[in-house]
Amino acid sequence: MSRSGRLGVGVIGAGKVGPVLAAALAGAGHALTGITSGSDDEHVDVLLLGVPRLEPAEVVERSELVIIAVPSAELEGLVAGLAALAAWQPGQLVLHTAPEFGTEILRPAVALGVIPLAVHPAVSFSGTSMDLMLLQGSFAGVTAPAAVLPIAQALAVELGCEPVVILEADRPAYAEAIATATTFSRAIVQQATGLLAGIGVESPGSFLSALVRSAVDQALTETARSESDPDPR
């Protein structure tokens, strides 16, 4: 996007993801119009000091780009509910971050003329400013109609991510890959730290930190090597 394409950005969802994405886009020069309240508004203020707290319909009313960063199970009902209120506006950009859905989930908003985008940064968010650094150089799965795919890709770049196009039909497999990587990693670390704690090792998480990070890095390096040279013979 050019500098002339700055947008008024509103966020529905004040958990770990929404405030970080808002801060990243504000850093790219976009104006923040508002964010919905969450369970820890004081924590959000650290990232978004002075950004108004609004109801979802107010966020939609004030924004050219609406980011929906809510749990996946809430997404369909939220979009449909705002459509029932006729809140969505023709020409408005609506971007959700759920890994398992493409743009079909936004159909009720599309019926009112919005431009649907799905952008999922492949980052395990903590909800802190550290996530802004994690976004830099990470990847994002993007799905959008062909005519507006460049908009989704440009927004991913402005977040700091390298966009990777995921077809609508491939979203379930994409989500499974994301869930496998995050859930498996968490479960293995919990199991290992539990074993160490059981034999009296103090601070087992710190004990395993370098080992786990180096093992994961090595596995990723080996995977990248095999991708670049699939037939080493």
Per-residue pLDDT for the chain (233 aa), expressed as one digit of tens each?
434 579 999 999 999 999 999 999 999 999 999 999 987 788 888 899 899 999 999 999 999 999 999 999 999 999 999 999 999 999 999 999 999 999 999 999 999 999 999 999 999 999 999 999 999 989 999 999 999 999 999 999 999 999 999 999 999 999 999 999 888 788 888 999 999 999 999 999 888 888 887 887 787 778 777 766 656 55
Q: Pairing state of beta strands 115-121 and 139-143?
A: antiparallel
Every domain of the chain and the residues it spans = 3-166, 173-228
**Residue 103 structure tokens:** 């743009």
The terminus-to-terminus CA distance of the chain in angstroms comes to: 44
Superfamily of domain 3-166: NAD(P)-binding Rossmann-like Domain (3.40.50.720)
The pTM of this model reads: 0.85
Identify the helix (H) or strand (E) that includes residue 192. Answer: helix 171-198
